[in-house]
């Protein structure tokens, strides 16, 4: 079986700004992968390429054995099947939400897919319940809090039950309770056939959301490993700008070493 996604030597530029520089990776169906890297390392650009919202200027991107190119996506049948299987939740929910009510927002994709009315109603209600936003169904999305908007954006994608979920910084800007709700949701897919690819710079969540971590650095994959392997590699994390060393003292001795900051504990 070919990998679900296979990228070879992919380059992508925004005009003359290089964002991906010779990036290669393979992701199997059912894998839960975290993309970690400092700001500007290329995480969001990579997710947009995986969602076929933009296309490699060099190198190849394959999905399930098919090249993901502008030509393939111009084929309605391929595009329809691809959009049914793969969904991206943007970092900023304001980019994603445009309907007058939460209900309309979550019903939008199923209606586009021309599901029967009763099925749409049932799926939308179930998804609103699952995401804990049933009480918001008649509210306009743009008037919700950041955490509520995020849950609506997730619901608007989960409602069609995609095979592949691409998440861009799903927990950034959320309060701790909303963060753990989103993490629980990602965890619920563990062991199923769903593929979940999450971009984050929050190292403290990767063990919960991923079985494999890819470290991005300046538009390439600098390392790949289990969360435990990657988190133990302090030199790598320091170089990738994911931890920083700062000076402090233990037992009267001042020294500096890299830290992972987590809200629950501060370990050495
Ligand atoms: N719309 C854009 N126009 C120009 N440059 C961009 C745009 N989006 C991202 N970039 C640049 O591409 C590089 C990768 O950015 P991005 O993929 O957003 O990284 P990350 O998500 O890891 O922060 C950065 O140098 C960034 O400045
Ligand atoms: Mg980003």
Q: Is 102 left (phi over 0), alpha (psi -120 to 50) or beta?
A: alpha
- Among residues 25, 29, 58, the alpha carbon closest in space to that of 43 is found at 25
The pLDDT of 245-264, averaged and rounded, is: 60
The pLDDT of 243-247, averaged and rounded, is: 73
Prediction pTM value = 0.90
Percent of the chain with pLDDT over 90: 72
Question: 200 CB under 6 A from ligand 1?
Answer: no
As given in the structure block, the two tokens for residue 225 are 């490993």
Which residue among 19, 37, 172, 201 has the greatest number of ligand 1 atoms within 8 angstroms of its CB, and so is best to mutate? 19
pLDDT at position 250 is: 66
Which residue among 23, 42, 172 has the greatest number of ligand 1 atoms within 8 angstroms of its CB, and so is best to mutate? 42
Over residues 37-54, the pLDDT tens digits come to 999 999 999 999 999 999
Ligand number nearest to the C-alpha of 92: 2
Over residues 139-175, the pLDDT tens digits come to 999 999 988 999 999 999 999 999 999 999 998 878 8
**Domain boundaries 5-259, corresponding CATH code:** 3.40.50.300
The pLDDT of 89-110, averaged and rounded, is: 94
pLDDT at 255 over 70: no
The pLDDT of 246-259, averaged and rounded, is: 63
pLDDT at position 254 is: 64
Contact 206, 43 (CB under 8 A): no
Which residue, judged by its Cα, is nearest atom 1 of ligand 1?
14
Q: Which sequence spans correspond to the domains of the chain? A: 5-259
Which residue, judged by its Cα, is nearest atom 26 of ligand 1?
40
Q: Please give the mean pLDDT across all residues of the chain.
A: 90
């Amino acid at each position: 079986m070919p990998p679900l996604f296979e990228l070879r030597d992919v380059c992508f530029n925004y005009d003359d700004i290089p964002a991906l520089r010779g990036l290669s990776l393979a992701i199997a169906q059912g894998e839960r992968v975290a993309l970690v890297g400092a700001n500007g390392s290329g995480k969001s650009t990579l997710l947009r390429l995986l969602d076929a919202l933009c296309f490699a200027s060099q190198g190849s991107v394959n999905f399930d054995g098919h090249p993901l190119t502008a030509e393939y996506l111009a084929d309605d049948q391929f595009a329809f099947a691809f959009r049914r299987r793969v969904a991206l939740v943007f970092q900023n929910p304001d980019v994603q939400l445009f309907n007058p009510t939460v209900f309309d927002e979550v019903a939008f994709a199923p209606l586009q897919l021309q599901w029967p009315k009763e099925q749409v109603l049932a799926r939308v209600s179930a998804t609103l319940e699952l995401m804990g936003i049933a009480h918001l169904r008649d509210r306009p999305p743009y008037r919700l809090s950041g955490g509520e908007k995020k849950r609506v954006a997730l619901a608007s994608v989960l409602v069609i039950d995609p095979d592949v979920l691409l998440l861009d910084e799903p927990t950034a800007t959320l309060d701790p309770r909303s963060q753990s709700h989103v993490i629980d949701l990602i965890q619920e897919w563990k062991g199923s056939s769903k593929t979940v690819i999450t971009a984050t710079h929050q190292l403290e969540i990767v063990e919960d959301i991923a079985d494999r971590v890819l470290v991005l650095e300046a538009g390439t994959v600098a390392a790949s490993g289990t969360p435990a392997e990657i988190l133990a590699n302090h030199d790598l994390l320091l170089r990738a700008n994911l931890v920083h060393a700062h000076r402090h003292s233990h037992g009267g001795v001042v020294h500096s070493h890299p830290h992972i900051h987590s809200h629950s504990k501060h370990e050495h």
